[in-house]
Amino acid sequence: MQLNGIAHIQLTVSSFEACARFYKPLMELFEMSLVFDDDDVKYWVGGRTAVAITRCAERYRGERFAQDRVGLHHVCFRARSREDVDRVFALVQGLGASIVYPPREGPWAPGYYSVLFEDPDGIRLEVNHVPGKGNLDPSIQLPIPRPLP
């Protein structure tokens, strides 16, 4: 069975209002449409996937994402060009995101180019571009990739 992508990513956030303000322009840049919007959930669809942010339970309000805990490490969105990665970087800088690293090339695939940043709760988001077949190119032999910092 071959998968047809990822249907959706749902992120539970502590700072719901701040995250809603952060994700709105990011999802608009990704040409994703807000299809569900209430006081606890925002749900965008586009690019063969969907992204939701959900308000966390009251007892967890004020907590921040811990990347080294069991569970999510980071979310990576695939861009169509290096210029798109640069556009995301400019946007998230303007939104005041914590930048883990600015756009740069990486060793994970031939031509790998990405930016890594955090949303208001510290959830790490990456946007990358890999030209051609990337790691699916049988003529390329790469070292075993290590997780991003």
More confident residue, 6 or 23: 23
CA 82 to chain centre: 16
pLDDT at 140 over 80: no
Nearest to 33 by CA among 19, 44, 20, 21: 44
Q: What is the 3-state secondary structure (H, E, C) of 32-69?
A: CEEEEECCCEEEEEECCEEEEEEECCHHHCCCCCCCCC
Domain boundaries, the chain: 9-59+72-136
* Average of per-residue pLDDT across 103-118: 92
* Average of per-residue pLDDT across 55-82: 93
Percent of the chain whose pLDDT exceeds 90: 75
Can you give the pTM of this predicted structure? 0.89
Confidence of residue 144 (pLDDT cuts 50, 70, 90): low
Mean pLDDT score of the chain: 91
CATH number belonging to domain 9-59+72-136:
3.10.180.10
